[in-house]
Amino acid sequence: MYKKFSDEDLKEAYSTMMDYSGKANSELLTEIESRGGLEKFLRQIEIQKINQTEIGRITKEIRLLNSNGLDKNAIKDSLQSDILSKDELDYLIEQKLVEHQAIIADRTITSKTIFRSILGMILGSILGSIFLILAISFIGRLVFFPLVGVYIICYFTIKFLTKQSRNNAVVFIASFLSTVISAFLAIGITSILSK
């Protein structure tokens, strides 16, 4: 059964068994022995844990240093690792800086964000109210579960226009307000049409 498992899958299976039952089954242990033995396998798991801890430490330091205004070269000069090679460390710094900059850009509020959020609110409210009117006419009455769909429509409309996620306060508030406006529009229109 475990012959088709990759090394990572085998490590995951072993860790899961050890976490839940405290022992690994014989088929798993046989496969581990055929791949170099339990001692080598456990050493690889330990090295992997040490690497993950080191990557976590370095990631925190990168975010802190970048938040304090240091650029890529200054961060590379100030960070060292006894576990990762220089190339691995440089690659990690590059990768985490790109991720951190994307998070900062996503949360940044600009006039463009505000304008496009307002535009998205208008468009999202129209699309959301159409969806809700259709849901009300199909179901026959107002129920609240279609509001989740309305929120999704409003959010993705605003996200499409702003290119920012709900992690941005303006996008989040605009999505919520657009959902509320959609609900009021749909209720108003259906009450007018039902007369």
- Give the model's confidence band at 14: pLDDT under 50 very low, under 70 low, under 90 confident, else very high: confident
Residues 39 and 93 in one domain: yes
Residues 98 and 187 in one domain: no
What is the CB-side half-sphere exposure of residue 43 using CA atoms within 13 A? 6
Residues 94 and 130 in one domain: no
Domain that holds residue 125: 111-193
Question: 45, 73, 107: which is the final residue of a domain?
Answer: 107
The rounded distance, in Å, linking the Cα atoms of 82 and 98 is 23
Given this model, what pLDDT does residue 22 score? 82
Given this model, what pLDDT does residue 156 score? 97
Query: What is the token pair recorded at 51?
Result: 């690497």
**Domain tally, the chain:** 2
| pLDDT at 28 exceeding the cut of 90 | no
Mean pLDDT of 102-130: 95
Q: Please state, for a pLDDT cut of 70, what percent of the chain lies above it.
A: 100
Residues 62 and 77 in one domain: yes
Residues 7 and 103 in one domain: yes
| pLDDT at 33 exceeding the cut of 90 | no
Residues 82 and 141 in one domain: no
Mean pLDDT of 140-149: 84
Question: 77, 107, 137: which is the final residue of a domain?
Answer: 107
Residues 27 and 87 in one domain: yes
Given this model, what pLDDT does residue 31 score? 82
Given this model, what pLDDT does residue 69 score? 86
Ranking 27-36, 48-57, 180-189 by mean pLDDT, the lowest is 27-36
Given this model, what pLDDT does residue 155 score? 97
Residues 64 and 151 in one domain: no
- Give the model's confidence band at 170: pLDDT under 50 very low, under 70 low, under 90 confident, else very high: very high
Residues 84 and 152 in one domain: no
Is 0.85 surpassed by the pTM of this model? no
Residues 68 and 52 in one domain: yes
Question: 68, 86, 107: which is the final residue of a domain?
Answer: 107
Q: How far apart are the first and last CA of the chain?
A: 67
